[in-house]
């Protein structure tokens, strides 16, 4: 390889590095900020394209207004619902149901999953039924559950907790049971007591799987909430969707869908933040 070729290759590599780290002359903080801003803009590009397509389609009448209301109409309906407080009331009801149901389901999932993960005998006895139940959507159980708890608030809490607990159980069992054997052997070499082994080896190894289960459980909780409120409710975002569909006011349906999506995304972001803070040994946790 000639000196000229070497210089050309070096120039190319420098240019690629500059492209990855953002505009030249930025500090480390500036490069991180640039990377995050680029990621945000890239994530917003697709929703922005959909919004533009929706705007053009409504303006040109590609579909009837009853099927595709204009963004202006949806915004007007949103401001009216916000002004009279009805959107806030429905949202507060849905958040309360998700909070109670998810908290109960997460607690149940963590406790049951920890018992299954730590005690193989208990796992062999109790875990197969959970795996079987997980194959059946919780909505299929709603008619049966309604016979025992009725169709009021307890039914919604039960089905949300049920759907949220399944991925938490599976994630917790998988995280604890799949702790690398070499780490357990290392704990034996150092003479760890059971509580030390649990705190220093098992829990750190299982945290990623546990948080994955929690995030999936939270997503399940929101999906089940909407369907439960469609089934039997007179308040909440799911009820607002049903009311809009019955009146053929798709603007109400779209507003409810957007609010549910934003709430779910916000809570998932909170769980991501907690996951990073709970794992300070991760480079992502230190940088986050």
Q: Could you please report the per-residue DSSP string of 61-126?
A: TSS-TTTS--HHHHHHHHHHHHHHTHHHHHHHHHHHHHHHHHHHHHHHHHHHHHHHHH-HHHHHHH
Residue 235 has pLDDT above 70, yes or no: yes
Residue 243 has pLDDT above 70, yes or no: yes
Residue 277 has pLDDT above 80, yes or no: yes
At residue 29 the predicted structure's pLDDT band, cuts being 50, 70 and 90, is low
Which of these ranges, 25-39, 174-188, 218-232, has the smallest mean pLDDT? 25-39
With left for phi above 0 and alpha for psi between -120 and 50, is residue 24 left, alpha or beta?
A: beta
Distance CA 114, CA 174 (A): 10
| DSSP line for 21-32 | H-STT--HHHHH
End-to-end CA distance of the chain: 43
pLDDT, one tens digit per residue, over 126-185 is 899 888 888 888 878 888 888 888 878 888 999 999 999 999 999 999 998 888 878 777
pLDDT, one tens digit per residue, over 89-119 is 999 999 999 999 999 999 999 999 999 988 9
Residues 6+ apart with CB under 8 A from 185: none
Whole-number pLDDT of residue 188: 72
Domains of the chain are 71-278 (1.10.3720.10)
């Amino acid at each position: 390889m000639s000196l000229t070729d070497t210089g050309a290759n070096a120039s190319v590599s420098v240019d690629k590095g500059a492209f990855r780290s953002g505009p030249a002359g930025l500090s480390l903080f500036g490069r991180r900020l640039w990377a995050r801003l680029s990621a945000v803009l890239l994530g917003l590009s697709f929703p922005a394209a959909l919004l533009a397509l929706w705007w053009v389609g409504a303006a040109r009448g590609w579909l009837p207004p009853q099927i595709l209301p204009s963004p202006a109409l949806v915004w007007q309906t949103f401001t009216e619902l916000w002004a009279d407080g009805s959107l806030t009331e429905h949202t507060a009801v849905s958040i309360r149901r998700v909070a109670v149901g998810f908290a109960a389901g997460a607690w149940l999932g963590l406790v049951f999953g920890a018992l299954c993960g730590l005690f193989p005998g208990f796992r062999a006895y109790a875990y197969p039924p959970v795996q079987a139940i997980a194959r059946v959507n919780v909505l299929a159980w709603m008619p049966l559950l309604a016979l025992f708890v009725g169709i009021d608030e307890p039914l919604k809490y039960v089905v949300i907790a049920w759907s949220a607990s399944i991925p938490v159980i599976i994630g917790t069992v998988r995280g604890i049971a799949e702790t690398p054997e070499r780490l357990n052997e290392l704990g034996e070499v150092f003479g760890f007591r059971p509580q030390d082994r649990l705190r220093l080896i098992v829990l750190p190894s299982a945290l990623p799987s546990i948080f994955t289960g929690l995030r999936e459980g939270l997503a399940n909780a929101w999906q089940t909430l909407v369907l439960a409120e469609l089934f039997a409710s007179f308040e909440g975002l799911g009820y607002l969707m049903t009311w809009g569909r019955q009146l053929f006011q798709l603007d109400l349906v779209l507003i409810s869908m957007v609010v549910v999506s934003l709430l779910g995304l916000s809570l998932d972001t909170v769980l991501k933040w907690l996951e990073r803070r709970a794992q300070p040994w991760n480079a992502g946790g230190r940088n986050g």
